[in-house]
Amino acid sequence: MNFRGRGRYLGQAIRSVLTQSFSDLELLLFDDAQPGDPPDDASEVARAFERQDARVRVVREHGPGVGRASAAMAALERAARGEFVGWVDSDDLLVQTALEETVGVLRARPDAGMVYTQHLEIDGENKPGGIGRRCLVPFDRDRLLVEFMAFHFRLYRRSVSAAIGGVDGRFLAAADYDFVLRMSEMAPVLHVPKPLYCYRVHANSISSGRSIVQIGESIRAVENAMKRRGMWTSRELRVRVESHVRIVDRSGVEL
């Protein structure tokens, strides 16, 4: 979990992890504050939890590239000590039995490298919308090249991640997609068709939708996967991008 500047939901997110039915866990929080940054509410929240609960550890790392999600993911992965690792975004929530169920799946299938669940969309007030559509697509290693269905919540075996070199911190916005593509080439990926993760959808956010960088990086991740899989000379990736532009006033109302 990395959180800087996202104080509003952080406490809820942390509590959703610490109250898991599977309690033998370590919660790593990534604080990407740089020397000289102003104090941040979220840092205070994180430190308070660290004082209260021995399972919470705040990881700090300074340097170039820190502050972007992939660098945080890489830093947290280096700091992790458990057999399994899972990611929770700092404005999302984990359903109470998420870890218990996913750990159970990976324990029962020692050959598997990763398991993922469905996710429920929630709004700013925690009101549930529907089950996220992308996780209804059945998992298939080839289909993963055109659809990133292995979305939240993912739990993976740290030994398999170490074997593929972990998260590639050079990706700014599609490190998770690249990571799952590479994981799926090492070991089976399993699916629990239950919504065990709450994914917060922010209404009226100015930068809604996926960014150009994220789409460009996703293309790169897929093309790299096609090369690794020996498909590069026979297959090609075609991409269409629909673009919808709106002019909104500063409070988010459409002109």
Partner 1 sequence: MPFRDRERYLRAAAESVLAQTMGDLELVMFDDGSRDASAEIARELAAEDDRVVLVEGVRESVGFARAEQRCHDAARAAYVGCVDSDDVLEPTALELSLGRMEPDPLLAMVYTDHHEIDERGRRIGPGKRSRRAYSPEALLVDFMTFAFRLVRADVVRAVGGFDASVNFAADYDLCLKVSEVGVIERIDADLYGYRMHEATTSASQRLRQIHDSRIAVERAMARREMTERFALSLALKPSFELRGREVARGGEPLRLEPDAWLRGL
14 with 53: CB under 8 angstroms? Answer: no
The one segment of 12-20, 85-93, 160-168, 204-212 that binds partner 1 by CB under 8 A: 204-212
CA 227 to chain centre: 25
User: Residue 235 interacts with partner 1 (CB under 8 A)?
Assistant: yes
Distance in Å, CB of 49 to partner 1, minimum: 34
User: Residue 202 interacts with partner 1 (CB under 8 A)?
Assistant: no
Distance in Å, CB of 211 to partner 1, minimum: 7
Binding pattern for the stretch 119-158 against partner 1, x by CB under 8 A and - elsewhere: -----------------------x--xxx-----------
Of 30 and 179, CB closest to partner 1: 179
Instruction: Take residue 71 and report the two structure tokens written for it.
Output: 């660098």
The one segment of 48-56, 81-89, 129-137, 217-225 that binds partner 1 by CB under 8 A: 217-225
Counting beta carbons within 10 angstroms of the beta carbon of residue 163, is it exposed (0 to 12), middle (13 to 18) or buried (19 or more)? middle
The one segment of 40-48, 65-73, 159-167, 221-229 that binds partner 1 by CB under 8 A: 221-229
178 with 74: CB under 8 angstroms? Answer: no
Of 78 and 235, CB closest to partner 1: 235
- Cα gap 74→80, rounded to integer Å: 10
The one segment of 21-29, 98-106, 117-125, 231-239 that binds partner 1 by CB under 8 A: 231-239
The one segment of 23-31, 125-133, 179-187, 227-235 that binds partner 1 by CB under 8 A: 227-235
Binding pattern for the stretch 155-174 against partner 1, x by CB under 8 A and - elsewhere: -----------------x--
Q: Is residue 213 within a helix (H) or strand (E), and if so which, with residue range?
A: helix 212-228
HSE, side-chain direction, 13 A CA sphere, residue 200? 19
* C-alpha R_g of the chain: 18
Counting beta carbons within 10 angstroms of the beta carbon of residue 85, is it exposed (0 to 12), middle (13 to 18) or buried (19 or more)? buried
Beta bridge partners of 59: 30
Distance in Å, CB of 149 to partner 1, minimum: 12
**């075996």: which residue's tokens?**
157
- Cα gap 20→94, rounded to integer Å: 8
With CB under 8 A as the rule, give the number of residues binding partner 1: 43
The binding site for partner 1 (CB under 8 A) comprises 142, 145-147, 172, 206-213, 215-220, 222-223, 226, 231-250, 255
